[in-house]
A and B are shown apart, each in its own frame.
Chain A
C-alpha cells in the first residue's frame, strides 16, 4: 500500500509545505508499513532526473503538465483523480497551501472517501484501524480529534512538523500521461492579477501590524524599521480589512502560518485565530495599549503603550546607532 504526497514546486524547488508533507508521510510510513510516493504535475522539459530526495520519499510519479496549465485547478484535479484510480493510495497528503486545502475535499468527494483540511497531527489509530487526525476548531480555541478511515485525503496545516533531512538519495521517477480536464468549459480566461511574494516565510524577523498601529502612516514607519533589519511586514485580519496591507500578507489561521525567530506584534489584541499564525515563532515581543490584551499571554516581552510612542522611541534609538 502507498501513502501519496501531492507535492508543489516553486522556482524548481519543492515548497517548504511540500517537504513538511513528505516528513509527515515518512512518520506515517513507520506506523502503517507503507511506502511513500511523491506525486508531481510538471512540464517534462524542466524536470531534473534522476530525482534527488532529501526527505525520505521512496519514489516519484510525475504527470507531464505544461507550464501554461499550472493554475488550471480542474485539470490538476482530473489528473489526481486518475492517479487515485490507478494507484489507490491508502492516504493522500496535501501540502498546507491554498491548492492543497482546495484539492483534498474536492478529490475526496469525487472518490467517495473522507477528507479533512488544516490537519495538525496525523497518526495511525490501532483501535479503529484508521487514522487519528487533530485539527483546530472554534477559531483555534479548541482542537478536534477525528477518526478517519482509509482511503483518506488530508490537507495539512503549515509549520506543524520539524523538517528532518534524511540525506540525499536518488529515487526512481515514473512519468505518466496527464488526462484532459472535464467540466471547466465555462472558464473564459484566468490571469494572475498580482503576484504574492513568498519571502515572508524565510524572514527571521517579522513585524505584524494590527488595528492598534492607528493608521497607514505608522505602517510606513514600521516598514522603515523593518527594512533596516531585513525583516518582513505582515498584518492581522483587521489591518487587511482596513486596506493597510494586501491580503497576501495576512497572518493567522486563514492566512499565512509563519515561524520566524523573532516576531514583533504591534497593536494586535491577540485573537486566537491570529495567534495560530505566529505560535511557532521562537520569541514574541508585543506592544498593545491594553495591558490585559490576550497577546501578552503568548509573548515573551511586552509593553503596554501606544504603538506610535514605541515606534518613535525605536526610530530615535536606531538613528543614534546608525
Chain B
C-alpha cells in the first residue's frame, strides 16, 4: 500500500480503486506465517510444508517465491479475491482446500489482508474446521510433540503449549523477517509446478454464495489534511515543543 500515493486513492464509478500499477507482494502477516513455517521445518525436517492461496493466475508469483524458499508444495485455488468478497466465503474455500490436502496439523495465516482488512478469515477457518484458534501469534516453537506458541492478548504476551490441530493467525514481531531466496533457488522455482485446483475440484466445499456476511455497498475516502506549521529554526522548535509539553503536563498536575 506504501507504493500508492495519497492522491491516487480515488474511488472510481464502479466502486473500486485502481491499484493495477502496484506490484503484488505477499503481505507482511502472511510473510510471518511463511517464515514461521520454514523455521518449524528447519527444526524438524520431517514435517512437510505447503503454501496455499486463493486467487487468479497473477497470484502465482507469490507461490513461486514460496517454492524458491524451499516450501515443498504450492497450491493455487482458482478464484476471484475481490475486496467485496466476504471472509466467510474465502474461509469456506480454504477450509475445503485444507480438507482436500488431507492430513494437516497446523495452519498458519496472516491476521489480515492488506486490501479488505477483514481480520476474520483465519478465525472463521478455525471454526469451520472445528479446530482451536490462537490469534495474533508472534512466535511458534516445537517442543517434543507440542507447539509452544507466543501470542498477543489484552494483558500482554501469553505462552500457550498445545498439540495440533490448530489455526494460528500471525502478527508482526521483532527480528522475524521472511528469509531471502538465492538467485539459483529463484530460477529453479520457476521450473517447479504449482498445483492448480478449481472450485469444482473441492468436494467438501459448502456453498460460497450462501456464506453469511456483510455486503460492501460503498467505498469512500476522507480527506484529512491539517495545515502544518513548519518551524525552520531548531531552537525555536525546541522552545515551542517544550511549551506544549508544559501546557499539557501542567493540566495533569505534573511540574515541568
Contact = CB atoms under 8 A, between A and B. Distances in A.
Interface string B113-156: 01111111001101110101101101000000010001011111
A204 interface: yes
Interface string A98-138: 11011011101110111111100000000000001101111
Interface string A134-152: 0111111111111110001
Interface in B225-256: 225-226, 228-231, 234-235, 237-242, 244-249, 251-252, 254, 256
Contact of A146 (B17, B216, B256): B216
B240 to A, nearest CB: 6
A23 B171 CA distance: 30
Interface residues of A, number: 98
A194 interface: yes
A313 interface: yes
B249 A205 contact: yes
B254 A230 contact: yes
Given A138-B117, A144-B218, A97 B154 contact: yes
Contact of A142 (B11, B138, B234, B256): B11
Contacts of B220: 142-143, 145
Contacts of B182: none
A199 to B, nearest CB: 13
A46 interface: no
B138 A302 contact: no
B104 interface: no
Contacts of B64: none
Q: How large is the interface on B (under 10, 10 to 19, 20 to 34, 35 or more residues)?
A: 35 or more
A189 interface: yes
Contacts of A105: 87, 119-120, 123-124, 127
Contacts of A296: 228, 230
Contacts of A240: 172-174
Contacts of A248: 152, 156-157
A167 interface: no
Given A114-B212, A139-B117, A285-B241, A192 B228 contact: no
B57 to A, nearest CB: 23
B156 A193 contact: yes
Given A105-B120, A187-B132, A301 B229 contact: yes
Interface stretch (A36-44, A51-59, A314-322): A314-322
Q: Per DSSP, are chain A's interface residues mostly helix, strand or loop, or mixed?
A: mixed
B230 A304 contact: yes
A116 B214 contact: yes
A313 B244 CA distance: 15
A229 B254 contact: yes
Contact of B212 (A108, A187, A301): A108
B245 A229 contact: yes
Contact of B155 (A118, A192, A247, A250): A192
19 contacts: A71-B153, A99-B154, A105-B119, A109-B124, A112-B212, A139-B1, A141-B221, A147-B214, A187-B160, A188-B146, A190-B158, A190-B159, A204-B252, A241-B175, A247-B172, A301-B229, A310-B238, A313-B237, A317-B242
Given A145-B220, A247-B171, A254-B112, 20 more contacts: A71-B158, A98-B135, A98-B154, A105-B87, A116-B120, A116-B214, A118-B119, A137-B116, A138-B17, A141-B4, A144-B216, A146-B217, A184-B132, A205-B249, A285-B241, A297-B226, A301-B240, A301-B241, A303-B237, A310-B238
Interface of B: 1-2, 4, 6, 9, 11, 17, 19, 83, 87-88, 91, 111-112, 114-120, 123-124, 126-128, 130, 132-133, 135-136, 138, 146, 150, 152-166, 171-177, 212-222, 224-226, 228-231, 234-235, 237-242, 244-249, 251-252, 254, 256
Interface of A: 8, 71, 74, 97-99, 101-102, 104-106, 108-110, 112-118, 132-133, 135-148, 152, 183-184, 186-196, 204-205, 228-231, 237, 240-243, 247-248, 250, 253-254, 261-262, 264, 271-273, 279, 283-286, 291, 294, 296-305, 309-310, 313-314, 316-318, 321
